[in-house]
């Protein structure tokens, strides 16, 4: 797979998807029996096969009317978001370095939930930040599409998808007449060209061209969407090449080839991921509904496969060794780019994706996720020690956050409820069943298409794009038929047409708060003809665990600060990830206009 092809590879070793158990599809609840090992879906994991991947104005159209052109004004989404506090006064002198670490799929309780099993003898990483920095225990996204692309696009722009235009990991664009990956340009080169607003780094380098902004990630979209279009360096792990790479959209770092030679991924072949948590302190090692490590076992220890094995890269990415290599790359960049060493503020963004890969495969309550955060804590300790020595605690601000949280595994919820002789409304929605039901509903209204072709152009969560021209008089009828079948599903909480969202016609079954989150996730011309989200404790697709909904467990993420002279605090006030960019902007005396977030008063 070339660098221009999507740098995501899926392991063929994940042979079996979650089995189609009676009742698991269109109208079913989670089964009472266990399921076979799950796969990690293409949207979650790198894969081997390349994927090309209102103002007052006119009166609102009838429900189901075609989507307005890209860029049409979107009315305010519900009531205004509350301000997150008074701005933090700018420091007397420029802050040399800002470091933002995003742990993909790190729910807001993870940093403290696993404290008892952390292994560091020197204070650790997460505990040190809580002890010596500022920790917001109540940080929630206020958008509905809580997945990797939209989350990372929000973090350093201060904007929701309604402004960033990043409405999913993949989406169709009415303006360019293309469908594809959020971090591809129209030529399928990895870039931030689809990001419609500037990042903190973009604005910083516009003001101060000598400032450096560097992105380092396992997932390309994490690194790209945090640093933006004008980064001095942006690299990510290319799973097919088995090395860190960049694209023609960014300057090739002079040190990248040296790093790849010195830190070859091949050295991890045969390495063993052993359990570090003492017996009796950790979660059960293997439970029904979990996936399996590529070597086929569900219990510790897990083995990274031989480097000649087709699934070597998959086994590496699902191990803490991929996290170790990522931090090797980030610290190498600190030295090679001399970050924080002059009068110009630099920004380093680190996208940690191992947590997402393992989380999708095993679920948030698994032993594997717990063990992985033991390693994450040690990596954060390593990073803090490096920054303290290289830059000095008062000369940097370190931020820990995430792009989204994660839902419980529905089968595990069902089993826990059974043990207490209770019932929980939880389940799993099969994408293939939904598509068949939508096609059948539209065909019943418009008749079948030639060769039984689908009426669905694309289905990228949470969007469904109907394969009819916007000016086709049959399209509203097709949209309405599809919406009705979605609304009849017992696991769907929200199903709305583009025009309903555009013109703020809330379905009566949707509460005002959730509707505001849905509208914050909607961009005209990029969001689908229909958007839909599951009910609480229901998930879409075959991943063991997943995210992507407006529910609190998917919106809750950490927000932690260390350094820069900040006073230690545990904060109970509610903030949002979009508040991060203006908070850092205020520290840097950098104005960010027309954003959704507000600067937080941190105290120095």
pLDDT(87) > 70? no
The per-residue pLDDT of the chain, averaged, comes to 87
- Residue tagged 């009742």 (tokens): 23
Q: How many residues does the chain have?
A: 604
What value does the mean pLDDT take over residues 121-136?
90
Helix residue ranges, H only, 302-399: 312-317, 320-336, 354-362, 367-390
Pairing of strands 492-497, 530-534: antiparallel
Which of residues 588 and 58 earns the better pLDDT score?
Answer: 588
pLDDT digits (tens, 9 = 90+) for 228-271: 999 999 999 999 999 999 999 999 999 999 999 999 999 999 99
Given a contact cutoff of 8 angstroms between Cβ atoms, the answer to whether 68 and 524 are in contact is yes
Whichever domain contains 219, its CATH number is 3.40.720.10
465 backbone dihedrals φ, ψ, rounded to 5°: -110, 120
pLDDT(299) > 70? yes
Given a contact cutoff of 8 angstroms between Cβ atoms, the answer to whether 271 and 304 are in contact is yes
Residue at 496 is within a domain = no
**DSSP one-letter code for 435:** H
What value does the mean pLDDT take over residues 75-100?
54
Residue at 325 is within a domain = yes
The upper half-sphere exposure of residue 190, i.e. CA atoms within 13 Å in the direction of its Cβ, equals 26
Of 385, 245, 398, 268, nearest in space to 320 by CA: 268
Kind and range of the H or E run holding 164: helix 161-164
Given a contact cutoff of 8 angstroms between Cβ atoms, the answer to whether 376 and 101 are in contact is no
- For residue 64, the model assigns a pLDDT of 41
Residue 262, token pair as written in the block: 């010195």
The upper half-sphere exposure of residue 117, i.e. CA atoms within 13 Å in the direction of its Cβ, equals 23
Which of residues 66 and 35 earns the better pLDDT score?
Answer: 66
- For residue 93, the model assigns a pLDDT of 53
Residue at 378 is within a domain = yes
What value does the mean pLDDT take over residues 388-406?
97
Helix residue ranges, H only, 363-497: 367-390, 410-419, 431-446, 475-487
The percent of residues in the chain predicted with pLDDT above 90, rounded, is 79
- What 3-state class would DSSP assign to 351? strand
Residue at 201 is within a domain = yes
Rounded to whole angstroms, the maximal C-alpha distance in the chain is: 70
Q: Judging by beta carbons within 10 Å of its beta carbon (0-12, 13-18, 19+), is residue 144 exposed, middle or buried? A: buried
Given a contact cutoff of 8 angstroms between Cβ atoms, the answer to whether 333 and 256 are in contact is no
Q: Could you give the number of structural domains in the chain?
A: 1
pLDDT(76) > 50? no
Q: Rounded to an integer, what distance in angstroms lies between the CA atom of residue 124 and that of residue 382?
A: 9
Residue at 215 is within a domain = yes
- For residue 603, the model assigns a pLDDT of 78
SS (H, E, C) 542-592: CCCCCCCCCCHHHHEEEEEEEECCCCCEEECCCECHHHHHHHHHHHCCCCC
Q: Rounded to an integer, what distance in angstroms lies between the CA atom of residue 590 and that of residue 594?
A: 13
DSSP symbols for 466-492: ESS-TT-TTHHHHHHHHHHHHHTSTTE
- For residue 335, the model assigns a pLDDT of 98
pLDDT(92) > 80? no
Q: Rounded to an integer, what distance in angstroms lies between the CA atom of residue 597 and that of residue 580?
A: 7
Q: Rounded to an integer, what distance in angstroms lies between the CA atom of residue 134 and that of residue 143?
A: 24
- For residue 445, the model assigns a pLDDT of 95
**DSSP one-letter code for 412:** H
The percent of residues in the chain predicted with pLDDT above 70, rounded, is 84
**Residues 6 or more apart whose Cβ sits within 8 Å of residue 542:** 17, 18, 38, 39, 41, 430
Given a contact cutoff of 8 angstroms between Cβ atoms, the answer to whether 582 and 598 are in contact is yes
Of 400, 346, 99, nearest in space to 211 by CA: 346
347 backbone dihedrals φ, ψ, rounded to 5°: -130, 130
Q: Rounded to an integer, what distance in angstroms lies between the CA atom of residue 493 and that of residue 237?
A: 36
Given a contact cutoff of 8 angstroms between Cβ atoms, the answer to whether 439 and 454 are in contact is yes
**Residues 6 or more apart whose Cβ sits within 8 Å of residue 517:** 77, 141, 142, 143, 144, 550, 555
- For residue 124, the model assigns a pLDDT of 87
- For residue 217, the model assigns a pLDDT of 98
Distance of CA 463 to the CA centre of its chain: 16
pLDDT digits (tens, 9 = 90+) for 447-461: 999 999 999 999 999
- For residue 296, the model assigns a pLDDT of 79
pLDDT(46) > 50? no
Q: What would you report as the CA-atom Rg of the chain, rounded to the nearest whole angstrom?
A: 23
- What 3-state class would DSSP assign to 150? helix
Q: Rounded to an integer, what distance in angstroms lies between the CA atom of residue 414 and that of residue 287?
A: 13
pLDDT digits (tens, 9 = 90+) for 158-190: 999 999 999 999 999 999 999 999 999 999 999
* pLDDT level of residue 41 (50, 70, 90 thresholds): low
Of 399, 329, 500, 313, nearest in space to 139 by CA: 399
399 backbone dihedrals φ, ψ, rounded to 5°: -120, 135
Measured at the CA of 149, the angle between CA 147 and CA 150, to 5 degrees, comes to 70
- For residue 36, the model assigns a pLDDT of 34
For residue 297, the enclosing domain spans: 99-136+147-159+197-340+351-405+556-587
Residue at 117 is within a domain = yes
- For residue 94, the model assigns a pLDDT of 80
Which of residues 123 and 165 earns the better pLDDT score?
Answer: 165
Residue at 273 is within a domain = yes
- For residue 342, the model assigns a pLDDT of 94
pLDDT(57) > 80? no
Neighbouring CB atoms inside 10 A of 576's CB total: 26
pLDDT(546) > 90? yes
- What 3-state class would DSSP assign to 277? coil
Kind and range of the H or E run holding 460: strand 456-460
Q: Rounded to an integer, what distance in angstroms lies between the CA atom of residue 183 and that of residue 191?
A: 5
**DSSP one-letter code for 171:** E
- Residue tagged 């090992």 (tokens): 37
pLDDT digits (tens, 9 = 90+) for 418-430: 999 999 999 999 9
Residue at 323 is within a domain = yes
Which of residues 244 and 1 earns the better pLDDT score?
Answer: 244
Helix residue ranges, H only, 9-136: 110-113, 126-132
pLDDT digits (tens, 9 = 90+) for 466-511: 999 999 999 999 999 999 999 999 999 999 999 999 999 999 999 9
Residue 377, token pair as written in the block: 């804590």
pLDDT(38) > 50? no
- What 3-state class would DSSP assign to 170? strand
């Amino acid at each position: 797979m070339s660098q221009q092809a999507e740098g995501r590879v899926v392991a063929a070793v994940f042979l079996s998807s979650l089995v189609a158990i009676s009742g698991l599809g269109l109208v079913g609840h989670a089964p009472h029996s266990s399921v076979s090992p799950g796969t990690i879906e293409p949207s979650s994991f790198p894969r081997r096969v390349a994927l090309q991947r209102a103002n007052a104005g006119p009166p609102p159209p009838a429900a189901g009317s075609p989507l307005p052109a890209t860029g049409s004004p979107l009315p305010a989404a519900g009531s205004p978001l509350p301000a997150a506090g008074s701005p933090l006064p700018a420091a007397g002198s420029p802050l040399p370095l800002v470091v933002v670490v995003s742990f993909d799929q790190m729910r807001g309780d993870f940093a403290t939930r696993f404290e008892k099993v952390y292994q560091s003898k020197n204070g650790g990483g997460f505990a040190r930040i809580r002890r010596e920095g500022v920790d917001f225990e109540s940080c929630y996204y206020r958008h509905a599409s809580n997945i990797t692309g939209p989350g990372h696009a929000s973090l350093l722009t201060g904007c929701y998808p309604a402004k960033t235009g990043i409405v999913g990991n993949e989406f169709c664009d009415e303006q360019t007449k293309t469908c594809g990956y959020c971090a591809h340009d129209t030529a399928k080169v990895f870039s931030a060209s689809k990001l419609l607003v500037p990042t903190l780094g973009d604005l910083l380098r516009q003001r101060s061209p000598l400032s450096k902004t560097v992105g380092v990630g396992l997932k390309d979209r994490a690194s790209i969407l945090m640093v933006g279009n004008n980064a001095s360096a942006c690299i990510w792990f290319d799973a097919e090449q088995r090395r860190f790479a960049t694209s023609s959209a960014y300057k090739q770092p002079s040190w990248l080839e040296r790093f790849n030679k010195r830190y070859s991924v091949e050295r991890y072949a045969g390495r063993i991921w052993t359990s570090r948590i003492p017996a009796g302190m950790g979660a059960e090692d293997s439970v029904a509904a979990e996936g399996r490590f590529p070597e086929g076992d569900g219990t510790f220890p897990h083995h990274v496969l031989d480097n000649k094995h087709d699934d070597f890269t998959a086994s590496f990415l699902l191990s803490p060794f991929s996290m170790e290599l990522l931090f090797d790359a980030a610290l190498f960049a600190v030295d090679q780019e001399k970050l924080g060493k002059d009068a110009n503020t630099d920004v380093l963004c680190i996208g940690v994706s191992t947590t997402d890969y393992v989380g999708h495969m095993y679920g948030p309550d698994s032993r594997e996720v717990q063990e992985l955060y033991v390693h994450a804590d040690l990596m954060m300790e390593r990073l803090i020690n490096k920054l303290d020595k290289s830059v000095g605690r008062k000369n940097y601000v370190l931020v820990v956050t995430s792009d989204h949280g994660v839902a419980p595994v529905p089968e595990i919820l069902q089993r826990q409820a059974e043990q207490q002789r209770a019932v929980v409304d939880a389940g799993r929605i099969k994408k293939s069943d939904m598509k068949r039901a939508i096609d059948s509903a539209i065909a019943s209204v418009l008749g079948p298409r030639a060769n039984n072709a689908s009426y669905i152009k694309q289905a990228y969560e949470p969007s469904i794009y109907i394969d009819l021209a916007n000016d086709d008089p049959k399209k509203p009828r097709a949209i309405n038929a599809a919406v009705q079948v979605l609304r009849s599903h017992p696991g769907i909480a929200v199903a709305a047409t583009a025009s309903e969202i555009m013109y703020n016609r809330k379905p009566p079954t949707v509460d005002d708060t959730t509707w505001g989150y849905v509208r914050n996730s909607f961009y005209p011309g990029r969001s689908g003809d229909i958007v839909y989200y599951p009910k609480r404790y229901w998930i879409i697709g075959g991943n063991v665990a997943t995210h992507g909904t407006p529910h609190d467990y998917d919106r809750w993420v950490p927000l932690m600060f260390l350094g820069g002279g900040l006073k230690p605090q545990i904060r109970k006030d509610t903030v949002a990830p979009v508040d991060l960019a203006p908070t850092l902007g205020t520290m840097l005396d950098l104005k960010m206009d027309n954003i959704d977030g507000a600067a937080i008063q941190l105290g120095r």
